[in-house]
Every structure is written in structure tokens, then in C-alpha cells.
């Protein structure tokens, strides 16, 4: 059921839904086959560097790039939103009222910040996971006195980077973790991060969570009330519900269920990449480190199917996590290929330099792939452990979600 008929006598049209890290790499990689028509559908006319959104919010950097510098020649960009995928007709229904037909679809809609269920958080909090939230926070901070208190909610990497960036500018920042600081880091990694946050004056609260957000304060689980002129919410991520709305099977978070070739469990002409993919119901950690390679591998799957060949299975290794702590310090946490942290870190100015080089290198690799399709490089691992066919696996609500 997973082998569609090749298209030897016609130019195949491949549509990539989503123009983030995974989508741009996938579109550029598809140009290995010069006989394809390639379209990218994205809701914005610019590429968003999500790994720099904390800089945009703090006013220490920008986070948008023109697609003209990232997408290869011949790739069409459609600025629109996909309302639904009609997989039977192989057609996308767009918010503008138009439609777009495809032969193959790469589903790369990414992820965004989860709308918090905590009372007042959706109304008064600033989500830092997308351009709108970061821009809104930036405008608020511009109008705030430098001494006005800021509370950052979430002790993961996004929260750590936001707290460090704001505190480096002299703002009083409290980081409410709701658990261990940097839970994905090793002991040495957490010590490195905690030490620099202390130097920046960040107050770190690990043993409490936020139970309510007010316009001028947050209420903690121990009933403490913290003044807050701006509450930055970084706890939790979610993916768009396009796949579920289109009748495609997803995991509990809404990621498209695929096999190990990133092919949809429901349709061989739909292939997923990036944060919205759940291969064998075991998604990789949401990150640009995973997104770009998944984009290239999704493109390879499509190219193989068009050629009538069996696509390769997913092969990807992690190398670590890079955290900026302001512009002058950082922590690089090394890991095993399966993304488990080892007790080795690089900190200080060297860590900051490595993080900045990786941020720049991420865009450089996209541009290189646009100029020379097929040159994209990623670290590969051995085969992932064997999985049951999706039909025989536990329901998504019985499977723990991957780390974020």
C-alpha cells in the first residue's frame, strides 16, 4: 500500500507545507531532480529564525530573513495558510480560497508555543515561540523602565536563553522553572547554566510553579505573589492541528504519524519533516538540529518514490545542545547520538562563540543547499530499534511524549 505509481511521463509537483528549517532544506534538496516543480506554502513572506527569537524580544538581534536568499532558483513561494489537506484528491485548500494540487506533499508545519491553561497566562503572558509573540514582547519591553521586573516561566532551554538575554541588559529577571533547571542537561551542564544566571542576577525558582498570571504579577503554587511587568511564557510546545483536521493519523500532540522513512501512516504521497513528524510514534526532540536533517531525509524519500525506488530509513544523530546566556556567555552541552546528555560541557565565551557559529551555520547550510542541491550534511546514526507496524502499536495516548 505504500508504493505509489512513479510519474515517468510528467513533471511531478511537490508541495512543501511550511517554510521553516525543515521545509526550506527539503525544498532545496528536492532540486537534486531538475525535473520537479517545487512549491513552498508558508504563512509569512519571510523566514523566521526561531533560535534567535529571544534576541529579537530583547532587542539584541533580528530573527527574520528574506526567502530570496534561502530558496533555490525555480522554487515557487506561495504566501498563504493551508486550511485542509484533501489527500484523496491530492489537493490543498488554502485560507485565501484558492487550492493547490500536488503529486507529493512534504508536511513541515513545525511547532509553536502551547497556549497555557494556567489562569491569565493566555491573556497576560507573552509566548516566545513565534514571531508575533516575540515582537509583541519587544514592543512592551521598549516602553518599560529598565528596573521593571520580568518573570520568565519555564526552565527549559528557551526559558534559560530568554532569562539570560534580558538579564544581561540589566533587567531584574526571575526564572520560574516548575521543576529542575535545564532538565535535559547533565549535572555539569546545569551547574554551568546556573552559575552564569547567578552572575547575571537572575533569581531561579525550581521548587514552585506558576498558578496564575495577572497583568502586573504572577502567583506561584506556594501562594507567593511576584510583581511582573512582563511575564514571558516558554513552558511547553505544540504543533498545528492541520494533519488531524485533514483526517490523517497523529500522535497525542498532533504530530503526523509516519514510518521510519517519514512516510505518513495513511498516504504514501505525504511525507513529514521537522517538529511535526512522529516516525514510528517516537519523535525526535523539537529543534533545528533535528529539523534540517529531517527535511533532507523527507526530500530523499520523495525523490526515491518518484524514481520508483525504496526510500531509505531515518538515520540521524544528535551531538548536543547549545544555549546562549546573553551575548557573551553560553553553555554547549555534549550528548550521545541518541540525544542523552553526557557530563561534558563547554562554557563561557567559548560556549557563546560556538552557539553563534552554529546559528550562523544553520542558515549557511540552507543557502549552500540552495546553491548546490545534495550538499546538505548531517550526522547519521545506526538504525533505530525495530518498531511494530503503526497499526499494532499502542494508541498515542498510551505512549510517553518525547522531550521538547
- Each residue's pLDDT tens digit in the chain (404 positions)? 445 555 554 789 999 999 999 999 999 999 999 999 999 999 999 999 999 999 999 999 999 999 999 999 999 999 999 999 999 999 999 999 999 999 999 999 999 988 889 999 999 999 999 999 999 999 999 999 999 999 999 999 999 999 999 999 999 999 999 999 999 999 999 999 999 999 999 999 999 999 999 999 999 999 999 999 999 999 988 999 999 999 999 999 999 999 999 999 999 999 999 999 999 999 999 999 999 999 999 999 999 999 999 999 999 999 999 999 999 999 999 999 999 999 999 999 999 999 999 999 999 999 999 999 999 999 998 556 544 343 333 322 222 222 22
Segments in 201-287 forming alpha helices (H): 242-245
Q: How far apart are CA 270 and CA 262, in angstroms?
A: 9
- Residue 287 has a pLDDT of 93
The pLDDT value recorded for residue 295 is 98
Backbone angles phi, psi at 39, to 5 degrees: -130, 135
For residues 231 and 228, give the distance between their C-alpha atoms in angstroms, rounded to a whole number: 6
Q: How many residues does the chain have?
A: 404
Closest CA to 273 of 46, 59, 18: 18
Give every CB contact of residue 84 below 8 A, 6+ residues apart in sequence. 92, 93, 242, 245, 246
Question: For residues 355 and 361, is the Cβ–Cβ distance under 8 A?
Answer: no
Structure confidence at residue 78 (pLDDT): 98
Task: Give the C-alpha separation, 262 to 265, whole Å.
Answer: 9
The pairing of beta strand 256-258 with beta strand 277-279: parallel
Given this model, what pLDDT does residue 381 score? 84
The secondary structure of residue 285, as a DSSP letter, is P
Give the model's pLDDT for residue 382.
58
C-alpha to C-alpha distance for 143 and 348, rounded to whole angstroms: 31
Q: How many CB atoms lie within 10 A of CB 139?
A: 10
pLDDT at 173 (0 to 100): 98
pLDDT at site 227: 98
CB proximity list for 392: less than 8 A, separation 6 or greater: none
Domains and CATH numbers, the chain: 12-43+80-111+239-316+378-392 (3.50.50.60), 116-232+318-377 (3.50.50.60)
Cell of 331: 553553555
Phi and psi at residue 188, to the nearest 5°: -65, -35
Sign of the dihedral defined by the CA atoms of residues 117, 240, 134, 274, in that order: positive
CA distance readout (Å), 160 to 151, 235, 238, 404: 12, 11, 19, 14
Those residues whose C-beta lies under 8 Å from the C-beta of residue 340, and which sit 6 or more positions away, are none
Amino acid at each position: 500500500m505504500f508504493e505509489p505509481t512513479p510519474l515517468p511521463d510528467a513533471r511531478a509537483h511537490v508541495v512543501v507545507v511550511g517554510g521553516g528549517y525543515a521545509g526550506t532544506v527539503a525544498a532545496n534538496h528536492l532540486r537534486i531532480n531538475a525535473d520537479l516543480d517545487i512549491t513552498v506554502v508558508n504563512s509569512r513572506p519571510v523566514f523566521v529564525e526561531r533560535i534567535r527569537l529571544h534576541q529579537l524580544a530583547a532587542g539584541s538581534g533580528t530573527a527574520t530573513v528574506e526567502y530570496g536568499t534561502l530558496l533555490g532558483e525555480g522554487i515557487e513561494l506561495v504566501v498563504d495558510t493551508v486550511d485542509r489537506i484533501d489527500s484523496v484528491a491530492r489537493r490543498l485548500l488554502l485560507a485565501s480560497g484558492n487550492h493547490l494540487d500536488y503529486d507529493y506533499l512534504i508536511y513541515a508545519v513545525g511547532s509553536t508555543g502551547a497556549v497555557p491553561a494556567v489562569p491569565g497566562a493566555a491573556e497576560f503572558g507573552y509566548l516566545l515561540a513565534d514571531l508575533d509573540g516575540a515582537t509583541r514582547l519587544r514592543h512592551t519591553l521598549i516602553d518599560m523602565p529598565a528596573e521593571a521586573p520580568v518573570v520568565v516561566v519555564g526552565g527549559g532551554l528557551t526559558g534559560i536563553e530568554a532569562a539570560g538575554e534580558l538579564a544581561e541588559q540589566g533587567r531584574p529577571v526571575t526564572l520560574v522553572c516548575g521543576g529542575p533547571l535545564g532538565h535535559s542537561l547533565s549535572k555539569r551542564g546545569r551547574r554551568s547554566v546556573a552559575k552564569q544566571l547567578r552572575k547575571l542576577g537572575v533569581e531561579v525558582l525550581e521548587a514552585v510553579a506558576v498558578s496564575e498570571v495577572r497583568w502586573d504579577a504572577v502567583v506561584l503554587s506556594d501562594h507567593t505573589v511576584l510583581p511582573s511587568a512582563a511575564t514571558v511564557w516558554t513552558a511547553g510546545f505544540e504543533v498545528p492541528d492541520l494533519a488531524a483536521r485533514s483526517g490523517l493519523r497523529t500522535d497525542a500532540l498532533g504530530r503526523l504519524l509516519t514510518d521510519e522513512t517519514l512516510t505518513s501512516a495513511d498516504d504514501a504521497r505525504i511525507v513529514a519533516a521537522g517538529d511535526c513528524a512522529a516516525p514510528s510514534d517516537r519523535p525526535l526532540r523539537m529543534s533545528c538540529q533535528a529539523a534540517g536533517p529531517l527535511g533532507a531525509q523527507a526530500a530523499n524519500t520523495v525523490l526515491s518514490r518518484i524514481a520508483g525506488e525504496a526510500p531509505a530509513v531515518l538515520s540521524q544523530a544528535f551531538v548536543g545542545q547549545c544555549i546562549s546566556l546573553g551575548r557573551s556567555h553560553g553553555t554547549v552541552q555534549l550528548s550521545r547520538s541518541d540525544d542523552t546528555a553526557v557530563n561534558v560541557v563547554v562554557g563561557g565565551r567559548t560556549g557563546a562563540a560556538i552557539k553563534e557559529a552554529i546559528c550562523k551555520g544553520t542558515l549557511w547550510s540552507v543557502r549552500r543547499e540552495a546553491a548546490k542541491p545534495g550538499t546538505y550534511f548531517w550526522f547519521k546514526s545506526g538504525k533505530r530499534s525495530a518498531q511494530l507496524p503503526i497499526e499494532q502499536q499502542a494508541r498515542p495516548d498510551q505512549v510517553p511524549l518525547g522531550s521538547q
